[in-house]
A and B are shown apart, each in its own frame.
Chain A
């Protein structure tokens, strides 16, 4: 990072003779402001991870398109319940879990593998170690997802949300895949040539063992009755908290300061954000069962932990906001930054919304309604997917050594995705609350809750179509970038080239070197 890093720590260092502050200050800036890394060096690290990164992204995009279609059909089936009912594999109750699993394990997880494998060499300042292991891991994982999806559509499901994939065939392959990719990540980390572990490293490196533990625990066939509900929601919530959230926060923490050419605002807030999340998020799961047949101490534990999530969420929110503040204009020049800023805001929003929803007096209205679906899309789309879109917009040109061919397509994609998802979340949020109020009103028949939600479900389908158009644009653009002629690509100027000189406060003449540095 630049010499600006020191500004962020002026206050601690002002408190003299305080060795803790002094250590932390040194800890967070030492290696980075001393290191001058050449563009060639960064390119060599990118080259070392090129194959698994491209493989992960391509597979992720294929799953994204399939998952989009599955989601669309699931949504349309609310509006036209007699649509495609003659075949069992097309029934709503199979397409909906297929949509969730394809999006979480196919799209997001594959893209997260790619992101993690791309970041680790740069953050460890060494080549990607055990590259073939990582490639093997991605292959195993995708076989697992494919098999799980196939069996799910044919009617073999473990029956628990987020854990539908068959525990005897699909899940072992997926665990093996995640462990192999994780092994490559950890081997690279252990071979690091930097002293300091940047905040992204904490998130990314911890996510792999976390995922392996929670996914294995969730799939063990040991639980009966309401225990299986406890395990179900222990897993499902942690799949969000200790897997999807963490890798994407790591990505945002890496790219946001990098694109802006400005260090993360506060090392202390990073620490609070990380350890607070690790400690509290893992205990949140039972808030999905409020009022249900569970021992009340378990639900109370989860509600308490949910409320405590305010601490890490606000810490991360302030930290990321203060990193960007005053430079929001830069979003005009960088689609990656635009998406990452939106993702970071969505993370704060969805987390605060989640905390709110865990409170009993709100949960009694929103539980069992489409509000939950709106909430999960705010998290999984506005936060996770936007973060990954941003990552792809930044990473693919680096890995392929050529720029995106069309600024217009990027704008179209972002516009369609944002518009669609805002309509989605608002419409379904309203529909969910209306449905919930009706469900809670003892004087209303059940019919009223269906009628209350219906128009909003139709609006959601419209939003789904808009989002789908965005995905088609994005997919087309990525394919264009990947398949276009190499030499033509290298010569063409970046549509967003203006960003480096505009954003980084530098002494005159220093302009271009900045691009090659890592944070």
Chain B
């Protein structure tokens, strides 16, 4: 090659082509998803919990997706009763699909492990409840107090993990994170039989749903 113009135009053409195919086209199609009626928007506390989840990088070990049963055993392993579809994520920004399962998938953790007390103790010290766990402990989401004050949520810890005197109480971040985890329930039936792209096309006219999705 001897021409700079060929180089720059060619280079721009390829990357813009990819941008259209993988970003602009999907945005126009996926922007028209309709919200499943059973999928509630996050409450303020759950949204804060989601921020805690992001800030502390839970995504680097936990995914939030149930994959296609034709190629995986996600459903057989109890991660959910169906594969996840684009509509399940309409309230999510950013997405937290994840790329690692060093820890288990959390797409339906709210149905699988519904006890708040379990989550609080598990976050404070995972190995207190799951001996083989390699999850980090998150003591910085909790406070030590000599005596619990009114309004405090005391974490119930097994002996050996609990402090000898005094109590471990939650911070707002810990409460919010657990509220978010408990809200991760996607056991309602999949809209449009799980065909994400079909749903996107068919719901193109439903403008009111768009408002929710945006």
* Residues of chain A at the chain B interface (Cβ within 8 Å): 27, 77-78, 81-82, 85-88, 91-94, 96-97, 155-161, 189-190, 195-197, 201-202, 205-206, 209-210, 213-214, 217, 222-232, 234, 238, 242, 271, 275, 278-279, 282-283, 285-286, 288-298, 301-302, 360-361, 364, 367-370, 372, 439-442, 446-447, 449-451, 453-454, 457
**B196 in contact with A292 (CB, 8 Å):** no
**A225 in contact with B33 (CB, 8 Å):** yes
0 or 1 for each of B1-28: is its CB under 8 Å from A? (1 = yes): 1111001101110111111011100110
Distance from A442 Cβ to chain B, minimum over Cβ atoms (Å): 4
**B14 in contact with A279 (CB, 8 Å):** yes
Known: A91-B57, A206-B8. A214 touches B65 (CB 8 A): no
Bound-state CA distance A223–B214 (Å) is 9
**A226 in contact with B89 (CB, 8 Å):** yes
Distance from A311 Cβ to chain B, minimum over Cβ atoms (Å): 14
**B7 in contact with A197 (CB, 8 Å):** yes
Bound-state CA distance A447–B3 (Å) is 59
**B134 in contact with A81 (CB, 8 Å):** yes
Q: Which residues of B contact A202 (CB under 8 A)?
A: 1, 7
**B73 in contact with A440 (CB, 8 Å):** yes
Distance from B69 Cβ to chain A, minimum over Cβ atoms (Å): 9
Bound-state CA distance A202–B1 (Å) is 9
Distance from A206 Cβ to chain B, minimum over Cβ atoms (Å): 4
**A196 in contact with B136 (CB, 8 Å):** no
Bound-state CA distance A210–B213 (Å) is 31
Residue of A nearest to B18 (CB): A282
Q: Which residues of A contact B31 (CB under 8 A)?
A: 224, 227
Q: Which residues of A contact B136 (CB under 8 A)?
A: 77, 81-82, 85, 91-93
Distance from B139 Cβ to chain A, minimum over Cβ atoms (Å): 6
Question: Which stretch of B41-49, B98-106, B152-160, B162-170 is in the interface?
Answer: B98-106
**A293 in contact with B65 (CB, 8 Å):** yes
16 contacting pairs across A/B (C-beta < 8 A): A78-B134, A85-B138, A88-B140, A156-B55, A201-B7, A206-B7, A206-B8, A209-B11, A217-B23, A225-B90, A271-B1, A279-B14, A368-B99, A439-B77, A449-B101, A450-B134
Distance from A188 Cβ to chain B, minimum over Cβ atoms (Å): 11
Partner of B22, one of A161, A196, A275, A298: A298
Known: A238-B18, A440-B72. A295 touches B200 (CB 8 A): yes
Distance from B15 Cβ to chain A, minimum over Cβ atoms (Å): 5
Known: A190-B4, A442-B73. A225 touches B140 (CB 8 A): no
Distance from B65 Cβ to chain A, minimum over Cβ atoms (Å): 5
Partner of B100, one of A205, A223, A238, A372: A372
Residue of B nearest to A283 (CB): B18
> At the interface, yes or no: B93 with Cβ under 8 Å from chain A?
yes
Bound-state CA distance A291–B196 (Å) is 12
> At the interface, yes or no: B88 with Cβ under 8 Å from chain A?
yes
Bound-state CA distance A77–B126 (Å) is 14
> At the interface, yes or no: B96 with Cβ under 8 Å from chain A?
yes
0 or 1 for each of B76-89: is its CB under 8 Å from A? (1 = yes): 11000001111011
Q: Which residues of B contact A157 (CB under 8 A)?
A: 54-55, 57
Known: A190-B4, A223-B93, A295-B86. A230 touches B54 (CB 8 A): no
Known: A195-B2, A230-B30. 20 other contacts (CB 8 A): A91-B57, A92-B60, A92-B61, A157-B55, A161-B99, A210-B11, A224-B31, A225-B89, A225-B92, A228-B92, A232-B94, A232-B95, A282-B15, A286-B22, A295-B86, A302-B22, A360-B71, A364-B72, A442-B76, A446-B77
> At the interface, yes or no: B133 with Cβ under 8 Å from chain A?
yes
Known: A97-B60, A227-B26. A155 touches B55 (CB 8 A): yes
Q: Which residues of A contact B90 (CB under 8 A)?
A: 224-225
> At the interface, yes or no: B91 with Cβ under 8 Å from chain A?
yes
0 or 1 for each of B177-193: is its CB under 8 Å from A? (1 = yes): 00000000000000000
> At the interface, yes or no: B63 with Cβ under 8 Å from chain A?
yes
Pairs of residues from A and B, 6 with the lowest C-beta to C-beta distance, nearest first? A93-B57, A282-B18, A291-B67, A155-B55, A368-B101, A295-B197
Partner of A226, one of B8, B63, B95: B95
Residue of B nearest to A87 (CB): B140
Distance from B106 Cβ to chain A, minimum over Cβ atoms (Å): 12
Q: Which residues of A contact B88 (CB under 8 A)?
A: 293
**A369 in contact with B101 (CB, 8 Å):** yes
Residue of B nearest to A206 (CB): B11
Known: A86-B140, A275-B10, A294-B86. A224 touches B214 (CB 8 A): yes
Known: A92-B60, A224-B213, A292-B97. A213 touches B19 (CB 8 A): yes
Q: Which residues of B contact A232 (CB under 8 A)?
A: 94-95
Q: Which residues of A contact B200 (CB under 8 A)?
A: 295
Most buried by A among B14, B85, B127: B14
**B99 in contact with A196 (CB, 8 Å):** no
